[in-house]
Structure 1
Amino acid sequence: MADSFSRRSFFALTGITAAGLGLAGCAPSNNQGGSTTTGTEPQDGSPANTPLDQLPLPEKGKTYNNPKSRDEVKDGGTLTQPINEIGPQWNYYQLAGNTSYMNILHGLINPRDLFLNNADGDKFEPNKDYIKDFKVEEKDGKQVATLTFTDQATFNDGTAIDWTAIQTAFITMCGQNKKFAVSSTDGYDKYESVEQGDTAKTAVITMKEAVYPIESILSYALHPKLQDPDFFNNGYNNEPHNELGSGPYIVDSFDDSAVTFKPNPKWWGDAPKLDTLVYKQMDTQASINAFKNEETDTTGTSVAGSAELLSNFSGLGDKAQIRRGLGMSIAVIEINSTRGVLQDVAVRKAFCQIVDPATIVSIVFQGVNWKEDAPGSMLWPYWAAGYDNNLPDDIKNLKSVDERKAAAKKTLEDAGYKLNGDYYEKDGQQVTFAYTLFGDGTTVKNRAAAIQKMCKDAGINLTLDSHPSSEFSDVLTSGSWDVCLFGWVGSSTSYNNGGQLYGSESGSNFGQQGSAETDEMFAKVVSTKDFDERMKLMNEAEKKMMQTYAYLPVYTGPDCYVVKKGLANFGPSLFQSVPATIVGWQK
C-alpha cells in the first residue's frame, strides 16, 4: 500500500521452499511472461488449489491486485497481515529504517506519496490530497520546480505542510550534513535551494544540476522537527510519532510483536475503506499457520512463491487466491569486502564464479511454473526497458556447474592459493568466511546449504551464521557479516539509485566498494534527461562496480501474494501507486 520511488529498500529473504533438492536442478528457461499451456492469470489471481506447475505466468505490463474502483469496495472491515519486522527504527528515511517493512508501516501515517505513479512507471501525477499545483521550468539555465500544497495539507500536530516540509527533505537527505544517517542522497545532493514562493504553501526548488524525473525527489514531505540530526537519527527509535505525520491512518497501538492502525480523524482526503489494519510480527512458519487458521488475511508482503509455501494453501480451494506479477525486487548476495580474506578481490571473484543462480532458482521454484532470465543488475529488472546484464564476462558466461568450479579454482590458484586438504589457503590463511542468513524457513536453509556445497566444491570453506528474521535490519546495517543474501525492492526510478547502492560513501553500499569515478558516473545518470542515454550511463557505471566482485544478483522471482478471496487493490501492481484508502474488501 505504501509506495516510494526515490530510494531502494532492503528486505530479508525468509520464504520457504522444497527441502533436500541438492544442486542438480536445471536452469530456468528464458521467458518473461505469457503462457501457452496454462492460460492467462486473472487480475484477482488464481485459486489456491490450482496445480502449481500449471499456475499461469503474469503478463508484462499487467497488475494482479484485484483492481477495483472505490465504489466497488465495502466500507469497514479489518485487514490482518504478518510482517517480518516491526521497528525498532520508525524513520524510513534513516539508514536503519530503510527496510521494505518500514516502507509499508511508515507510509500509512506519513505524507510519502506527493506524486502517484502508473503501472508502467513512466508517468507521474500530483496527489491531489497534498498538491494543488506543480510545474517544472528552466530559469537562467537551471531546473526550477514550483510546488504548491493544498490549503488542507497539515501535519497531525497542526503544523502546516508547506515549503518547509520540502526544505526539510532536502536538508536531511542532501548529504551535506553527515550527521544525518540517511539511506540515500540520490538526487537530493543536486539541489541548490528551497525557498518560499508567493505564500508559505508554495515551495520553489532550484537545482544546481537537473534531476530526471524530478518528481522522484519531491514525493516526501517531512515535518520540520526532523531538521535536528539527533532527532532524525534517534527520535523514532521505538516511536512512530503520529503527531509528526499526516495520512489516512494513525498508529492505534504497537510493540515489537504487533501494530494496529486506525483511520486518522484529522485526515482530509477520502476516508480509508478499512476500519482497522493489523500487522503481526511472524516468522515464515507462523505466518503460514496463521493464514491457514484464518488468523490473517494474507501471507504478507511479496513471498517467495515456492512450492512448499504455496502447497500449504491448496486445501483452501477458491477461498484463497495466489496473485503473481513480474518481480519488482532483486535477490542479491552482497560481499563485505572489508572482512578477512574477502579483502582479496580474487577470493570475491572465485565466490561469484562458483555460486550458480540457476541452481538456486531451480531450488526455490521447484515444482512451480515460473520462468525468468538470470538478473545481471541490482538496479533494474530484466524485464524492463533499458536493462542490460552488467555482470563481468567471467561470471555471466559460465554456463555449467563444471565451468564454474574450474573457473573459481583457477582464479584462486592464479592468485597464489593452494589446496590444503579440502580448502585453499595462502600464507597460512584458509579461504573461509561466513554466510549470514535470517529466519526459520526451509528455503533459507536450503539456499544456504546449496551455496555452502558450491563453495566446498571450489575449495572455499563457507560457514553459516543464522539469525531470527526480527534481527535482520540490525545485523545488516551493523556490517558485522561476511556475505549475505537479501533483497532490494525496486521502484520506477531505481536506475537513479546507483549512488545509494554503490556510492563510495553510502551507508547502503553493503559491499563497501566504489570510487570517485563511479560516484561521478552514477551522478550523471540522475541528470540525464533522455531515457535511453540515462540507461546507457547507468549500465556503464554498474558494469564497473560489478568488476569489484562484491555484488552478485541471484534471482528476481515473482511478486507473489496469497490472499483471502475478495481482497481488493492488494497484490502485485508493478510501479503503480495504490492509495491505502482504497484497499479493502470488494462488495
Structure 2
Amino acid sequence: MLQARRAVVRSLSFVAATAVVTGSLAACSEDDTEQAPSIGYAIDNTITTYNGNTTAGAVSGTMAALSRVLPGFTFTGPVGAPVSDTDIGTAAQLPGEALTVSYTLNPSSVYSDGVPLTCDDLVLTWAASSGRFTKTVDGADVPMFDVANTLGYSDIDRVQCQPGAKDATVVFKPGRAFTEWRSLFGATALMPSHIAMQRAGVPDLVSAVNSDDTEALTKIADFWNTGWNMTPGQLDTSVLPSSGPYRVEDYTEDGGLVLVANERWWGNAPATDRIVVWPRGVDLTKDAVDQSIEVIDVGSGSAGDLSALSGFTSEQIPSRSIEQFILSTSGVLGDEAARRAFGHCVPRSTLFDQYGSTPDAPAVGVGSGTVDSRLVVPDSLVYSDAAATDGNRYSAADVAATKVSLSEAGLDALTVRVGYLAPDPVRSQIVADVKAACEPAGVTIEDVSSPDFTPDALRTGGVDAVLAGTAGQAGAAGMADMIDARGALRSGNSSNFGEYGNARVDQIIDQLDTDPAIAAQLGLSVEAENILWTQVPTIPLFNQVRTVAVAQGMSAVVANPTRSASGWNMDRWVLRR
C-alpha cells in the first residue's frame, strides 16, 4: 500500500495526492472503527531546538518534527522540490533587472499567542541567514548569527519592509538571481521575530537591520542562537508561538514532544488534534506494540529490524540524503593525500550493495548506485558527466592506491577516528566494514560514536571523520535543489564541519546557484568534482535508505524522502481503530 502511495505522490500535486492517498488508506479501515485522538510519530534524530536554522538545529530533527508548527511560504514536497503554501502567503517574481520577489502574508495569519505574522519575520530570517552582520572576536570578524547555511540569503541585497506590515519586497544583488529562490523563507525558516525582539529588548528589528545597529543586532543574535533551545522537562512555551496548524504543548523524555491543534490557526483544522513526536532513543518495537507509535520514519536498520512489526506496513525507499564520510581538513587528515588514502580504502560499491540498495532499486537516478557527485542530484541531466570524474578511482577498496597516497602524505600508517550519532546498527556496521577494508593498507579506523554526538566534533578536533547524511544530518535530509549539500562545501558556512575551503569551488557553487543553463551546470559540476575527488573533503557513499512504517488504520501518511520526512503533512493524518 505504501508503494502505491509513492506512485501517487510522484504523479500528482500535493492536494490531489493527499486526497487520493487518504481515500486508498481509508478503504483499509472497518466501518465500525473510531478515530483515535492522538498519533505517535517516531523519527531518527534528536530534537534540541525550535530554531532549525542554527548550526545545531540544522542537523537535528527540527524540520522533520516542526514543519507543521512553523510553516513558511513553501514546504519541501515528496519529490524534493518546494511547493507553495498559500495558507502562509504568496510570493511573486517582479519584473526588473535584478531579481525581485514580492511576498504577501495571508491577512489572517497570526501566531498562537495572538501576535500577527508580519514582514518583520522575513527581515529576521534574512538578517540571520545572510552572513552580513558580524562582530569582532579576538580581533577577527565573525558572524553574529550562528546560522548553518547562508546560500541564497547571502544573495539578497535588502528586504523592504514597513514594520508590522503584511508584505515585503525582497531585492537580490545585481547578477545574483538565486535560481532556487522559492526555497527561501520556507517551512521552519520563519521564526517569530516578536519573541526575539521582546527577549532581546529591541523595540524595532527592521530599523536595527536597516541602520546596521551592532548593539541591537548582537542582542537579537544572542537570543536567536540559543534562546529557542529545547530541553525535555524544561520547556518555556511562551517563547514557542506557532504559525501552523499545530503548536508545542509539552516536551519530556517520558512523554515525547507533544503537538496539539493551534486554536488560532486560520487554515483547515488538523485532522487529528494531537501528534506526539518521539525523537531518537525510544524503543520503537516496544512502543509500536504498545500502540503509542503509529508512524515511523527512520534510516533503514538504524532502529533495528522493523519489517516484522505486527500490524504495520513498511517500505524501504531511497532518500535524497547522501550517506557520506565528512572529513576534517586539519589534524591527521590535513593533507589531501591523507584524505585520498582514506578514500581509496573505502569499499564504496560494496557498501552500496549492502546498505544502499533497495529491492526495487531504479536503473538510474536516486538509489540506483553509489553517489559520485556531491553537487548535483543523481536524477539531474548533468549527473552522469559529473559522476564520471571519479573514474572508478574510489569505487572499491584499493590497497595499492591507499599506500601510494600514504607515501605522498609522508605517512607509513594512518588512524582515523569516525564519529556518528549512536546507537545506529547500520552505521556501526559500515564503520566495521571500512575498518576491515582499510586495515591491510595501514589505515586504522576507530569507532568513536556516542549517543550525544554532533558533527561539530569534527571542527573541535574530537574526531577525524563524521559518518552522516547530507550536511551532517543524522536523520532525514536532502532536497532536490542541493542547497544544503552545496552549502556544506562552501567556505564560511557553519554546516561545512570539515572547514574545507577552495576558492574555485566557492565560485563554482555560487555560479551553479544562479545559472540554470544546462551547459553551465554541466561544465561547472564536472570541474568541481575533478577538484573534489582530488582534495576529498567528503567521501559520498549512497542515497540513504529510509524505512517508513505505518500502523493499520492510518491514512494520509505520504512518505517524503527529504529533510521534511513523513511529518510534512501530519495535519492530514487520521488513525482509526
Query: TM-score surpassing 0.5?
Result: yes
Aligned in 2, Cα 1:395/1:266: closer, same or farther, shift over 3 Å? same
Tell me, in whole angstroms, the C-alpha distance in 2 between the residues paired with 1:245 and 1:138. 34
Is it true that 1:260 corresponds to 2:281 in the alignment? no
Q: How does 1:524-535 map to 2 (within 5 A)?
A: 524-530=511-517, 533-534=520-521
Is it true that 1:187 corresponds to 2:145 in the alignment? no
Is it true that 1:101 corresponds to 2:39 in the alignment? no
Aligned counterpart for 1:351 among listed residues 342, 345, 361: 342
Partner of 2:267: 269
Aligned counterpart for 2:317 among listed residues 325, 331, 335: 325
Q: How does 1:481-520 map to 2 (within 5 A)?
A: 481-488=463-470, 489-494=477-482, 496-497=483-484, 499-520=486-507
Q: How does 1:53-452 map to 2 (within 5 A)?
A: 61=10, 67-69=17-19, 72=23, 77-110=37-70, 112-116=71-75, 119-120=78-79, 126-131=84-89, 133-139=90-96, 141-177=97-133, 178-196=143-161, 200-208=165-173, 209-219=176-186, 220-225=189-194, 226=196, 228-238=220-230, 239=235, 243-256=240-253, 258-283=256-281, 286-298=283-295, 300-304=296-300, 309-313=305-309, 316=310, 319-339=311-331, 341-364=332-355, 370=361, 372-388=368-384, 390=386, 396-398=392-394, 400-401=396-397, 404-418=398-412, 424=413, 431-452=414-435
Tell me, in whole angstroms, the C-alpha distance in 2 between the residues paired with 1:482 and 1:580. 38
Paired residue secondary structure (1:512): coil
Report if aligned partners of 1:248, 1:580 keep a CA contact under 8 Å in 2. no
Aligned counterpart for 1:567 among listed residues 554, 568, 575: 554
Tell me, in whole angstroms, the C-alpha distance in 1 between the residues paired with 2:446 and 2:339. 15
Which amino acid letter does the alignment assign opposite residue 404 of structure 2? K
Paired residue secondary structure (1:302): strand
**Could you tell me the TM-score, scaled by structure 2's length?**
0.79
Which residues of structure 1 form unaligned runs of 5+? 1-39, 46-57, 419-423, 425-430
Paired residue secondary structure (1:147): strand
CA drift of 1:365 comes to 6.2
Paired residue secondary structure (2:308): helix
Tell me, in whole angstroms, the C-alpha distance in 2 between the residues paired with 1:565 and 1:384. 36
Deviations 1:526-566 (A, max 9, x none): 22243663465345334423421120111114332122133
Which amino acid letter does the alignment assign opposite residue 130 of structure 1? I
Aligned in 2, Cα 1:366/1:338: closer, same or farther, shift over 3 Å? same
Aligned in 2, Cα 1:41/1:107: closer, same or farther, shift over 3 Å? closer
CA drift of 1:176 comes to 0.6
Tell me, in whole angstroms, the C-alpha distance in 2 between the residues paired with 1:477 and 1:294. 41
Aligned in 2, Cα 1:365/1:64: closer, same or farther, shift over 3 Å? farther
Aligned in 2, Cα 1:77/1:453: closer, same or farther, shift over 3 Å? same
Deviations 1:296-329 (A, max 9, x none): 213x32321699624433xx2xx31123334221
How many residue pairs were aligned?
A: 510
Query: Could you say which structure has the greater relative contact order, defined with CA pairs below 8 angstroms and 6 or more residues apart?
Result: 1
Paired residue secondary structure (2:535): coil
Report if aligned partners of 1:130, 1:149 keep a CA contact under 8 Å in 2. yes
Tell me, in whole angstroms, the C-alpha distance in 2 between the residues paired with 1:127 and 1:492. 18
Report if aligned partners of 2:324, 2:539 keep a CA contact under 8 Å in 1. yes
Moved more, 82-91 or 569-578: 569-578
CA drift of 1:360 comes to 1.9
Aligned-residue CA RMSD (Å): 3.4
CA drift of 1:198 comes to 12
Report if aligned partners of 2:329, 2:498 keep a CA contact under 8 Å in 1. yes
Report if aligned partners of 1:324, 1:572 keep a CA contact under 8 Å in 2. no
CA drift of 1:515 comes to 2.4
Aligned in 2, Cα 1:98/1:566: closer, same or farther, shift over 3 Å? same
Aligned in 2, Cα 1:250/1:433: closer, same or farther, shift over 3 Å? same
Partner of 2:217: none
Tell me, in whole angstroms, the C-alpha distance in 2 between the residues paired with 1:223 and 1:307. 34
CA drift of 1:367 comes to 9.7
Tell me, in whole angstroms, the C-alpha distance in 1 between the residues paired with 2:372 and 2:447. 26
CA drift of 1:344 comes to 1.8
Tell me, in whole angstroms, the C-alpha distance in 2 between the residues paired with 1:60 and 1:129. 21
CA drift of 1:463 comes to 1.8
Paired residue secondary structure (1:312): coil
Report if aligned partners of 2:336, 2:534 keep a CA contact under 8 Å in 1. no
Which amino acid letter does the alignment assign opposite residue 180 of structure 1? F
Tell me, in whole angstroms, the C-alpha distance in 1 between the residues paired with 2:377 and 2:392. 16
Tell me, in whole angstroms, the C-alpha distance in 2 between the residues paired with 1:308 and 1:86. 17
Tell me, in whole angstroms, the C-alpha distance in 2 between the residues paired with 1:273 and 1:532. 46
Which residues of structure 2 form unaligned runs of 5+? 27-33, 134-142, 197-204, 206-219, 363-367, 471-476
Tell me, in whole angstroms, the C-alpha distance in 1 between the residues paired with 2:358 and 2:98. 55
Percentage identity across paired residues of the two chains:
19
